Chains A and B, each alone.
Chain A
Amino acid sequence: MQEWASHLCENRQFGSKMTDSKYFTTTKKGEIFELKAELNSDKKEKKKEAVKKVIASMTVGKDVSALFPDVVNCMQTDNLELKKLVYLYLMNYAKSQPDMAIMAVNTFVKDCEDPNPLIRALAVRTMGCIRVDKITEYLCEPLRKCLKDEDPYVRKTAAVCVAKLHDINAQLVEDQGFLDTLKDLISDSNPMVVANAVAALSEIAESHPNSNLLDLNPQTINKLLTALNECTEWGQIFILDCLANYTPRDDRESQSICERVTPRLSHANSAVVLSAVKVLMKFMEMLPKDLDYYGTLLKKLAPPLVTLLSAEPELQYVALRNINLIVQRRPEILKHEMKVFFVKYNDPIYVKLEKLDIMIRLASQANIAQVLAELKEYATEVDVDFVRKAVRAIGRCAIKVEQSAERCVSTLLDLIQTKVNYVVQEAIVVIKDIFRKYPNKYESVIATLCENLDSLDEPEARAAMIWIVGEYAERIDNADELLESFLEGFHDESTQVQLQLLTAIVKLFLKKPTETQELVQQVLSLATQDSDNPDLRDRGYIYWRLLSTDPVAAKEVVLAEKPLISEETDLIEPTLLEELICHIGTLASVYHKPPSAFVEGSRGVQHKRLPGSAGSGETVESPDTGSAAGVSDAPPAVIPSQGDLLGDLLNLDLTPPATTGPPPPATSGMQLGAMDLLGGGLDSLMGDESEPLGGDLGGSLGMGAGFGAPSAAPAASFSAPVSGGLDDLFDLGGGVGMPMGAYSPPKTVWLPATKGKGLEISGTFARRAGVIQMEMTLTNKAMSVMTDFAIQFNRNSFGLAPAGPLQVLTPLSPNQSIEVSLPLNTVGPVMKMDPLNNLQVAVKNNIDVFYFSCQYPISMLFVEDGKMERQVFLATWKDISNDNEAQFQIKDCHLSSDAASNKLQGSNIFTIAKRTVDGQDMLYQSTKLSNGIWVLAELRVQTGNPTFTVCLKCRAPEVSQCVFQSYEAVLKN
């Protein structure tokens, strides 16, 4: 403020200069009086000067509200400048002086009738800005007239005024029918009016998410597209954003819209460009990929995105945040443009960090050499944050591009040699990750790492180093000394380091038990007795008990082989990514969060979704490839290279060992419980793993979607304990965006009316959102009313039982029929039936008890988490003896292998891998029954041959026949 004041003085000295600074002299108290006198002067010029002084004071935040009546008195004038100045004043102070503001109403109403359209528009515009209820009442009539004014300038101003009024009094706007008038303006002949109407409606719609205000149909879309070519740049943004909410009917309409939007990519205004990109990215989803136009469009998208990066840094930042989303969704667009993301010395730091992120996303085998050279360069820059991120990026490259790992490691070693403290620490953290991706490959560098032990002062780096020492304890001669040195200051370390130290010493003990007994005792007692951190204490106790009860088991658990870390841990979860793509160019795209997560009072904000593809020859991407867009073309590999002990453990536990006789009545609920326990337990035992893996939200979210009901109870209880580790094992996230309609046979008559004393029951079974439903139609063909329905099942092979009573609430009158859907569970008593899927049912009503039996398709029992880990599949396939193998043929099936795979997936038969040999596609599939029986299948599809061969392997071969029937039913329907 002081500077400001001194500045004023300075200006006063140059008082003779004709500038507005001369108005800044009202600081003294007496000057309000002086102004008052001037405002009431007879001379027009003096009045105007006085109003200017008042406005000048107002702009710098001084209170000049005391002059309200005097200023309003100046309003009735034919001098437009004076009128505008008074209006400016009014808008600022009317709220604080509502009674006085009424004085202005008459002038406003009169001005709305003025022959000059500029004055009419100005009046209606200003009235809308005065947020005083009493004034708003008077606004309605003039506004109604102005909305129908002959002059488009007035109409477009009035359109915005409706939005203002809605903000002040929404009910009034609805009652007065202004919304309909506004909707009519979308068809106005003037493009600027159309644009403003769209803008106003969009703003109003934001507070009414479900109001359907912008009812988009092909006709309105056409009008919008026409207006798009002729309106101002800002109008184009409003129209494009509105277009993005539309879902075209088919790929042809989609293409025609894209064609008409593409020219906007060459607009000078970057906001127009980005809004156009949003429309194209969204509508592109609907275009078949084999279409020539699709390729053309992809090519057209790259240059405008690159151009955005030569704009001002603020624009670059927003553009980069959006490009980050775009490269995750469609990496092919910018894959050749790596160099534009190279960081320049004088980029602002926020631009540098974003560029770095995108560089890693675009890194591939083709450009990795360039990228590494750049990253190495950045690691010697001045800004510490940036340098750290650059070092981290080198590690991410190593994990992402396997071929480059060696070069990355040697680059990191070079950086460690610089001895710059934070570079060394950051490098050690990423080298730990590299070890986790490529175990036993680069341990030669450990010696170099150990040399830098003393310089590590950040917890993350210390923890990483300790992990490395523990993991490779058998190859480090003085591992015990190293760890012991950390142990000295145990209580001063952060939790992260303490936990790591505990685990590392236990590992060391299991590897070299003889020399380290004392050390392990020491750390266990530090962790359990001297620590008040519950995590640390519990982990300490678990190790302790494990070691004392069964050292061999302890060894197997603690030193078990770990799952490799995934390629990219920081990818945005696919459903979120899809939603964000729909929000390109908005704040959501900058924060990388859905609007519902941060928009204030988000009144049930709708989640936007990308439209599904309507491509003719195109199939929906299989879940394997869909989640990692980068590899979508590569066929899944059949033979995994690494064994996975954790997977085996789980598999053993969940699959009952070779069954004879009826399978044990395990329930799906209990299954989940077992998994929770195991998952949680393993998690804490391998705590060092759980942190980075568990951070991945994809597992739980994807699972929710997989169950088809994210809010449903099972999904909710499921999502909490299942961390990324389990996600890796089950890969449930893959279910996202799949057609989840499990096959359900048509209804058949189970109980004919003749046998049911007039009650006819027909029915079928379906699996919806993970729940088995028995769907029945009860028809009363008797002459009397039926009531008191109830249902019971006989014992059956899979323990099916009604999960609730039969809900027939109203009596069933004669000739009436009712649809009932009965949820089932699998916790009932078990008895092996023949055929296996036979179900005996008793239905009772007020007349009698009736018995019938029906057969359910076994596919109802296929659970959603029936996707086996590849390694486990392979091991299990080998493990099951060939005697349990059954081979079947399905004739007359005209599906491609992909289509078949999709269809089967809908019924929870999951394709794990695909291999093509001599034109024959072999699909490897797994299915899990609700009682935990796994069925493994090999489906052979010869192109052009309608006969499929299914090979089923299962520990309980009895089910094979039923499973085959399901295969046939699903594939043929």
Chain B
Amino acid sequence: MINSLFLISHSGDIFLEKHWKSVISRSVCDYFLEAKEKSGDPENVAPVLQTPHHYLISIYRGKLFFLSVTQTEVPPLFVIEFLHRVADTFQDYFGDCSEVVIKENTVTVYELLEEMLDNGFPLATESNVLKEMIRPPTILRSVVNTLTGGSNVGGTLPTGQLSNVPWRRAGVKYTNNEAYFDVIEEIDAILDKSGTTVFAEIQGVVEACVKLTGMPDLTLSFMNPRLLDDVSFHPCVRFKRWESERVLSFIPPDGNFRLMSYHVSSQNLVAIPVYVKQNISFLETGSCGRLDITIGPKQTMGKTVENLTVTIPMPKSVLSVNLTATQGTYTFDLTTKAVLWDVGKLNPQKLPNLRGSISIQTGAPKPEENPSINIDLKIQQLAISGLKVSRLDMYGEKYKPFKGVKYVTKAGKFQVRT
């Protein structure tokens, strides 16, 4: 299983190491650093590497590499999932998962890592359980601890560790009982030059924020559960009831968690909210080119498209751009050569347009590649798949909770080819 973990900054500094079995010298990371050097972009480092005596499995999160070392044949997905869980936990505890924050909290980080893994086997990875054992640092608690001599570490066995609902701690109490659900959908799409959809799918999640006293048993039902044929659930969801009745029945964890994620791939169900009319061309001679982009609403179900931004990574030989935007502002990043156009709200009466000229390094040949246009957007109060929550019922507790459902649609990897 997992032998050791090294945290490495994107520049290649190893700034934290933890071993769960015998100590492995940090020189093992040299293989990784070599691979990193070779691949140029840190995002392109292959996640599974082999060295003469060890296997290196890594993830790249928040400009950090989480590099685990194993010596035996382990399922790499298991390791990668675990590493992401570690990063999630840091995020959860410290509000951020960056080098600075981890260095500021090394001792807590160390305590957490010790609690999450034993001999390379995962021990406690549920944030609820961890928080009962190691309390997240807050300025207030540090002050209180200093004054009272109190401790950051819980002295009793976390209740969740062994119960049938390991994700929920016992004895939860709130004065305001509330349960909120966010249905968030992201559209991944590739459109070709002419605007035809090459590929489109929806990645949806139901994020929950449940603050309820005691041991509530919730049932969430949908108006149109038929949409959902490819789902993955939080372990709390009773799979049998989903299979037979298509409702989500569960005892929720306390606090924020992802109840379900789903995937709508049949293309006729995926509405494309905007269209893009574009023309990016480079002249054979004269070291320049033209750019002209117009965006308009397509299938928005009557809602407004907001936070619209357009990113165009230009070929490396582009020197500068001289454009005019009828709406919003644009910037050109000289190092990444990306044009970023922040459009804002999409007004169907007056379509936003960006046009102008591109200048290329003199003498450089006409760029070979066609830049692709990446779109980001947001539509409030709409799940583009049409998914709708019908009702939420609570059993097992007597009080009346506040309930709420929010919908939002975003662009995921939404890309237009030119």
Contacts and interface: CB of A to CB of B under 8 A. Distances in A.
A275 B77 CA distance: 9
A241 B142 CA distance: 44
Contact of A234 (B46, B125, B372): B125
A348 B104 contact: no
Interface in A7-31: 7, 11, 17-21, 23-24
B44 A350 contact: yes
Given A230-B164, A306-B265, A275 B233 contact: no
A884 to B, nearest CB: 58
B43 interface: yes
Contacts of A275: 75
Interface string B8-25: 010101111111111100
B363 interface: no
Given A4-B15, A129-B119, A344-B413, A587 B74 contact: yes
Given A20-B106, A315-B81, A585-B77, A80 B155 contact: yes
Contacts of A266: 231-233, 239, 242
Interface stretch (B143-151, B177-185, B278-286): B143-151
Interface stretch (A427-435, A590-598, A805-813): A590-598
Interface stretch (A52-60, A790-798, A902-910): A52-60
Interface string A77-107: 0011110110010001001000000000000
A340 B265 contact: yes
A374 interface: yes
Interface residues of B, number: 108
A382 interface: yes
B213 interface: no
Contact of A232 (B84, B122, B155, B233): B122
A382 to B, nearest CB: 5
A306 B60 CA distance: 22
Contact of B111 (A24, A60, A88, A312): A88
A79 B156 CA distance: 12
Interface of A is mostly: helix
Contact of B15 (A60, A268, A307, A317): A60
Interface stretch (A157-165, A689-697, A729-737): A157-165
A112 interface: no
Nearest to B201: A340
A501 interface: no
Contacts of B143: 18
A349 interface: yes
Contacts of A328: none
A269 interface: yes
A223 interface: no
B81 A19 contact: no
B76 A590 contact: yes
Question: Which bracket fits the contact residues of A?
Answer: 35 or more
B75 A92 contact: no
B75 A234 contact: no
A56 B107 contact: yes
Interface string B245-289: 000000000000010010101010000000000000000000000
B36 interface: no
B263 A206 contact: no
Given A59-B110, A60-B15, A314-B58, A267 B118 contact: no
B190 A342 contact: yes
Interface in B32-71: 39, 41, 43-44, 46-48, 50, 53, 55, 58-60, 71
A303 B230 contact: yes
Nearest to A195: B121
A374 B75 contact: no
Interface of B is mostly: mixed
Nearest to A598: B50
A59 B106 contact: yes
B43 A237 contact: no
A675 to B, nearest CB: 38
B48 A317 contact: yes
A713 interface: no
Contacts of A600: 53, 71
Contacts of A720: none
A310 B26 contact: no
B77 A344 contact: no
Contacts of B370: 380
Interface string B380-418: 000000000000000000000000000000000101010
Interface string A311-322: 011110111000
A949 B198 CA distance: 56
A206 B70 CA distance: 14
Contacts of B235: 232-233, 267-268
Contact of A203 (B72, B84, B234): B72
A418 interface: yes
B215 interface: no
A3 interface: yes
B129 to A, nearest CB: 10
B110 A21 contact: no
A80 B153 contact: yes
A734 to B, nearest CB: 31
A551 B417 CA distance: 58
Given A84-B114, A203-B1, A585 B75 contact: yes
Given A4-B13, A56-B106, A350 B118 contact: no
A318 B142 contact: no
B103 interface: yes
A81 B108 CA distance: 11
B188 interface: yes
Contacts of B261: 268, 307
B48 A234 contact: no
A59 B18 contact: yes
A399 interface: no
A52 B157 contact: no
Nearest to B146: A45
A599 interface: yes
B77 A59 contact: no
Interface string A36-78: 0000000011000000100110011100000000000000000
B233 A45 contact: no
Contact of A268 (B22, B155, B199, B258): B258
A163 B156 contact: no
A437 B241 CA distance: 55
Contacts of B9: 3
A3 B23 contact: no
B161 interface: yes
B121 A199 contact: yes
Nearest to A163: B119
A339 B245 CA distance: 31
Contacts of A85: 107, 111
Contacts of B14: 61
Contact of B23 (A7, A92, A346): A92
B265 A344 contact: no
B365 to A, nearest CB: 10
B55 A587 contact: yes
A118 B156 contact: yes
A61 B58 CA distance: 20
A192 interface: yes
Interface of A: 1, 3-4, 7, 11, 17-21, 23-24, 44-45, 52, 55-56, 59-61, 79-82, 84-85, 88, 92, 95, 116-118, 125, 128-129, 131, 151-153, 157, 160-161, 163-164, 167, 190, 192, 196, 199-200, 203, 206, 230, 232-234, 237, 241, 263, 266-271, 273-275, 303-304, 306-307, 310, 312-315, 317-319, 337, 339-340, 342, 344-346, 348-350, 373-374, 377, 380-382, 418, 420, 585-588, 590-591, 595, 598-600
Given A314-B60, A350-B46, A373-B192, 11 more contacts: A7-B100, A11-B104, A18-B139, A20-B103, A192-B162, A271-B77, A306-B230, A307-B261, A339-B267, A380-B370, A587-B48
9 contacts: A60-B16, A80-B151, A153-B161, A196-B121, A206-B73, A268-B232, A345-B374, A586-B74, A586-B75
Q: 6 tightest A-B contacts by CB?
A: A81-B153, A303-B230, A314-B47, A271-B77, A19-B104, A234-B122
